[in-house]
Amino acid sequence: MESQASATDRFSLVGRVAVVTGGSRGLGAAICTAFAAQGATVVIVSRKQQACDDLATRLQEAGGTAAGFACHVGHWADCDTLIEHVYSQFGRVDVLVNNAGMSPTYGAIGEVSEGLFDKVIAVNLKGPWRLATQIGTRMAASAGGSIINVTSVGAVRPGKTELPYAAAKAGLNNLTIGLSRALGPQVRVNAIMPGAFLTDMSDSWDSSTFDAFAKRKIVLARGGNPDEIVGAALYLASDASSYTTGAVIKVDGGAVYAPA
């Protein structure tokens, strides 16, 4: 029993401050909820302050400690303001989750505008770079920490309708490995590579079309539920992964290795 308790304790986040971008909904909200339940002080970050505050209130009502902060991670000035705010209010960051992402629809690839392309790269790659390098540098100079980048299976198996997004996420996979070397040994840097998850963003999908796709292309034959991401997130955020860095963990129901 003692060894089991010790193993459970390694997933504890008590006393740690965790910043989660894209944290007010979808996978980000599931991660924030799990971190708060494990004792972390959670800073919920998204573009809309009210959405951040609403989730923070729900987590507080459930006995957790949470605060919201509005930030457009595609803008470095916003990222820097977020960093200064968190360190001023909480004094430290132990866990950074770069989860914010966007993938706007487009028509023919030749019609993708420079504005759309730049916006996708900014949110999915430029912002994570800024937050990881600035917070990671502070982590390395103090007690260390864990950085988790949320990428996508599109990084290794891009679809024709998400090419700028897939390119950005491929860059984030690469950045994860490079930063693990640049910020180690004090800071661990890893990535979670999700497949299709049934979040609020999937509400616009045609369910029968997706179900048919899942049966053909996903080994587990379904989309993931948001709470099915939290095991990987808790592992990478906590001492349970103390010897894991530079890893890209696939959480996709087997989609990458399903028949093309």
- 73 in Cβ contact with 45 (< 8 Å): yes
CA 25 to CA 27: how far, in whole Å? 6
Per the residue annotation, which of 87, 106, 165, 235 is the catalytic one?
Answer: 165
Strands (DSSP E) contained in 80-137 are 95-98
Q: Return the structure tokens found at 68.
A: 């919201």
Residue with structure tokens 């820097």? Answer: 80
Report the Cα 158 to chain-centroid distance in Å: 19
Q: Is the dihedral of CA 215, 104, 247, 200 positive or negative?
A: negative
Question: Beta strands of the chain (E only): which ranges?
Answer: 17-21, 41-46, 65-70, 95-98, 145-150, 187-194, 248-251
**What strands, in cross-sheet order, belong to the sheet with 145-150?**
65-70, 41-46, 17-21, 95-98, 145-150, 187-194, 248-251
Judge whether 165 counts as a catalytic residue: yes
List active site positions.
165
